Structure 1
Amino acid sequence: MRFGQWLGLLALVISLYILWQIRQIILIAFASVALATVLNQQVRFLQRFRMRRSLAVSISIGLLLVIIVIFSLLIVPAIIEQLQQFSNLMPIVLERIHSWNNWLIRVIPDNILENIRGLQYLTQSIQTWANQILRNFFILLNSSFTIVLGLLLFFVLTIMLLVNPGEYRQGFIMLFPAFYRPRVDDILSKCANSLVGWIRGTLLTMLIIAMMSYIGLLILGIPLPLINALLAGLLEFIPNVGPTLSVIPPALLALNESPWKAVAVIILYFGIQQVESLILLPLVMKSQVSLLPAITILAVVIFGSFFGFLGVFLAVPLVIIFQILIKEVLVKDILNHWHS
């Protein structure tokens, strides 16, 4: 290799290292772009009524802040209270499961017990899993200052992008050759439309799932229905993986009271997921890019491993963008015009 090639390789390695070090900031910037894209649709809608953009932006941001304040005043205190109750109940629940596990081992014959490998380690695995969740939760609370700074950066970037998105878009388009700039503009529009459609549909689905879960848990008399319903709605943001994880906390709480309640909770969540798959998704996800379930699960696991908690929640929108780029750039613009 020549000196210039070695220098280019060194520059590439240094660039990748810098990008890796600021990966969290890049994800926050992507989340800001996504939110600004959604709010920009609202701003454009208000501008149809001959409203100045500055006023339309102020109204859109004001509505978002009002929703956040109302949620903080009405919901957050109840969430904190139920989280404290949840942390107090978990040791009792784990002790009950431990006693049931020991009883089960005593009742099951030895020849059958030998074929059920790992049964005697069930309680230990559940307890380890629960302790890790609680430990990570307290770590999350201890790093609240960093979270506040990240949220502040997120909202500041969103407002800056929303005030004048055209300049940022044109600046990005200018990075490409002149002949390809119209194509880049078209691809960006497709990414924006797919992203807005997915976010709108997902938020509506999250709200409906949370309400259905809350009503069902209230009817069954499960402890802490609000926090479990909010968890079900929040995890709906992670397709395929989230709905499966959301059933674990209410099922454990129900198991502490009665085994039939735990079964009822599982049936309830299974029914809600069927309603979501057969009714909600076909209605609210018409503009969403179709994602294969295996690709979605792999994306959640990979982004979660590399980027942590934020990567899990941004995995699906990132996959939507990557899928459009692969389809439009790699397939249509390169492979379809590749001649031997």
Structure 2
Amino acid sequence: MSETARPAPPPAPGFVHKALFIAGLIIVLALAWKLAGVLLLAFAAVIIAVLVRSLADPIRERTGLGTGLSLTLASSIIMIVLVASGWLFGSTITSQLDALADRIPRSLDELETLLEALPFGREIASRLNGAATPDLQNMVGQVGGYVMAVTGAGANLLLVIVAGLFFAAQPGRARDGLLLLAPKGPRQSLLEAANESGRALRLWLIGTLASMVVVGFLTGIGTALIGLPSPVALGLFAGLAAFVPIVGPVVSVVPAVLLALDQGPEMILLTVAVYFVVQQVESNLIYPFIQKRAVDLPPVLTLFGVLAIGTLFGPLGVVFASPLLVVGLVWIKLLYIRNTLGEDTPLPGRSQ
């Protein structure tokens, strides 16, 4: 009597669960790649929320007000400071920005004249001139593109601010909702990582804002001392550009050099020297002092991190490279080095 073939046993539930988890992880990663721009805007909203909470929490602790009133007061203080600064320095900054916008085209003409005096300079200048003076149809298309870009940027900024205020009002709701998607086992570790990321972002933001203020102040004073036009506007631009490491300092010197072109080579050298000194002071004195008390990102990690994230996600990736690195550093140290490898390592901003 021949033995009947027994059916193969069903796959173990553990294997099925693992396969489904891997498939789901691949789908999530693919969606994250497609929605990278939206995720970066959400991350910007988180930074706004961290800024508001950084001011609201001390107000609540010192005054005994409720969370809602503290957040309202903190948001109002931020708006009042911004409006007062604009009203106080608005006329000066506006006039200097107008002068800056008026001088830069003339400086470009000076640059074209300078190039024409060099070997093969006439050909280079003609190419630059042709690129700078497109036909009417191209100009209309470019203006339309700029208008659409500005409109889209304004809408994104409004969305980020509103979402940031919602995150600040209820920071735990979005966090806990996302954590419900994770398995129960690692959920507590992910919760700790999310909380530590918020704390590290707060310290990074405080340090970055302090560094931006110092860079803007020193740049404005330095350009005023050497007699460069529009020192307030240049200092404001340098301070804002300092938010983006590596790239920001390089970009901030461009309008200053263009302004110095029509004042001779000595002014160009003085301008470059001012920006070089400010960046050396910021990099070697201010940044280590501030970031050692906040989040100490290694310069090499920052350099390659900005390049890598900018390559993957474009301009928005460059802007938010540093806070993304802060969050990534927290998660790697907490989830991998501590929980997986079992080695003790200090988290960013914690005492060594």
Same fold (TM over 0.5): yes
Which residue number corresponds to residue 322 of structure 1?
328
AA aligned to 1:27 is L
d(CA) in 2 for partners of 1:63, 1:20: 37
Which residue number corresponds to residue 115 of structure 1?
none
TM-score by length of 2: 0.77
Displacement, 1:40?
Answer: 1.8
Structure 1 residues 244 and 42: CA distance shift in structure 2, 3 A: same
Q: Of 241, 255, 258, which aligns to 2:261?
A: 255
d(CA) in 2 for partners of 1:302, 1:128: 33
d(CA) in 2 for partners of 1:101, 1:211: 34
Structure 1 residues 126 and 243: CA distance shift in structure 2, 3 A: farther
Matches within 5 A, 1:90-129: 90-105=104-119
d(CA) in 2 for partners of 1:90, 1:99: 14
Q: Of 212, 216, 223, which aligns to 2:222?
A: 216
Displacement, 1:79?
Answer: 4.8
Q: Of 54, 57, 68, which aligns to 1:44?
A: 57
Report whether the alignment pairs 1:27 with 2:40.
yes
d(CA) in 2 for partners of 1:12, 1:77: 53
Which residue number corresponds to residue 55 of structure 1?
69
Offset from partner CA, 1:269-294 (integer Å, 9 cap, x none):
11112221232123322233332333
Structure 1 residues 180 and 6: CA distance shift in structure 2, 3 A: closer
Which residue number corresponds to residue 347 of structure 2?
none
Which residue number corresponds to residue 303 of structure 2?
297
AA aligned to 2:332 is I
Q: Unmatched 5+ residue regions in structure 1?
A: 106-117
d(CA) in 1 for partners of 2:304, 2:131: 21
Displacement, 1:63?
Answer: 0.9
Q: Unmatched 5+ residue regions in structure 2?
A: 1-15, 344-352
Offset from partner CA, 1:22-41 (integer Å, 9 cap, x none):
33221111111122123223
Offset from partner CA, 1:44-103 (integer Å, 9 cap, x none):
212223211111111011111212323444455655554444343333222322333343
Report whether the alignment pairs 1:281 with 2:287.
yes
Structure 1 residues 330 and 13: CA distance shift in structure 2, 3 A: closer
Displacement, 1:10?
Answer: 8.1
Which residue number corresponds to residue 108 of structure 1?
none
Structure 1 residues 6 and 47: CA distance shift in structure 2, 3 A: closer
Report whether the alignment pairs 1:246 with 2:272.
no
SS of the aligned residue for 1:193 comes to helix
d(CA) in 1 for partners of 2:98, 2:144: 11
Asked if the contact 2:238–2:249 (Cα under 8 Å) also holds between the matched residues in 1, the reply is yes
SS of the aligned residue for 1:334 comes to coil
Worse-matched range after superposition: 25-34 or 287-296: 287-296
The number of residue pairs the alignment matches comes to 322
Structure 1 residues 255 and 161: CA distance shift in structure 2, 3 A: same
Report whether the alignment pairs 1:235 with 2:241.
yes
Which residue number corresponds to residue 110 of structure 1?
none
AA aligned to 1:304 is G
Matches within 5 A, 1:54-73: 54-73=68-87
SS of the aligned residue for 1:285 comes to helix
Asked if the contact 2:46–2:164 (Cα under 8 Å) also holds between the matched residues in 1, the reply is yes
AA aligned to 1:41 is S
Compare CA radii of gyration and give the structure with the larger one.
2
Which residue number corresponds to residue 198 of structure 2?
192
d(CA) in 2 for partners of 1:128, 1:238: 32
AA aligned to 1:89 is R
Displacement, 1:203?
Answer: 0.6
Displacement, 1:264?
Answer: 0.6
Q: Of 143, 149, 156, which aligns to 1:150?
A: 156
AA aligned to 1:307 is F
Note the aligned Cα RMSD (angstroms): 3.6
